Copies of this chain bind each other. A is one copy, B any other.
Amino acid sequence: MKPGPRRSLTESDVLAAATALLAERGAGGVSVRGIAARLGVVPNAVYTYFPDRAAVLAALVDDVLGRVDRDAFADPARPWRERLVALALALRAELLADPGVVRLMGGSPPVGAHALAVQETMLSLLQDAGLGPDDAARAAYLLTVHVLGSVALEAAELTDPGAPPPEEERVAARARVFAAVPAQRYPRTAAVAPTMARYITTEQYRWGLDRVLDGIAQLGAAPPGPGA
């Protein structure tokens, strides 16, 4: 093939190729050369569309964030708390559908167009809950941190590329790890091993979410008493 302008590629093609590589080979498999090969193009052709590999990865992450259907949480008739839970569940589902993205999130802060749209949705929901702008922002921080932290904890165990195995299977694998913890050195950990094995479940995620939302619900109310 000869050089020269052909417009055979678009930014979106590059992202599609990157997404395919992520699914097939995992986070480490998303290489500039791999993307180029998949597009039938020479490696450095990718640099026409993105300045470097990090930019491709950042766009890839934002792309995944764009897959959550934000309109689904817009209905002001539904209770705000229910809508926040639904949003948080949708975010987790999308990020864990291909857990490789989670590892890529560490590469750049979530300030892409879709990341901002998610923040905007959160702020909107929290203001529906009666919070002032700044309280809403701090509550959004709390929620973002919880989603990010949970998902990071879960994804750290999913080293194989592609969609994760069913929850029961992942819990069982984690249970085997904690069953092997020496009870002599870590007595308390060993005693709650079955509970710790379930850290990665949707149930635990929802439970944590509920505690966070309890805290948020108190924001407008009287200050909490001293910790008992």
Contact = CB atoms under 8 A, between A and B. Distances in A.
- Which size bracket describes the interface of A in this complex? 35 or more
Contact of A228 (B199, B215, B217): B217
Chain A facing B: main interface SS: helix
Interface string A82-104: 00000000000000000000110
Contact of A192 (B123, B196, B217): B123
24 contacts: A103-B107, A105-B156, A109-B157, A119-B196, A123-B189, A133-B192, A133-B195, A136-B192, A137-B195, A138-B204, A141-B196, A142-B208, A142-B211, A142-B212, A144-B153, A145-B146, A148-B149, A149-B152, A213-B227, A214-B214, A214-B215, A214-B218, A214-B224, A220-B228
Which are the 4 A-B pairs with shortest beta-carbon distances?
A: A149-B149, A145-B149, A211-B215, A81-B227
Interface of A: 54, 79-81, 102-103, 105-111, 116-117, 119-120, 123-124, 127, 129-130, 133-134, 136-138, 141-142, 144-150, 152-153, 155-157, 159, 174, 177-178, 181, 185-189, 191-192, 195-196, 199, 204, 207-208, 211-218, 220-221, 224, 227-228
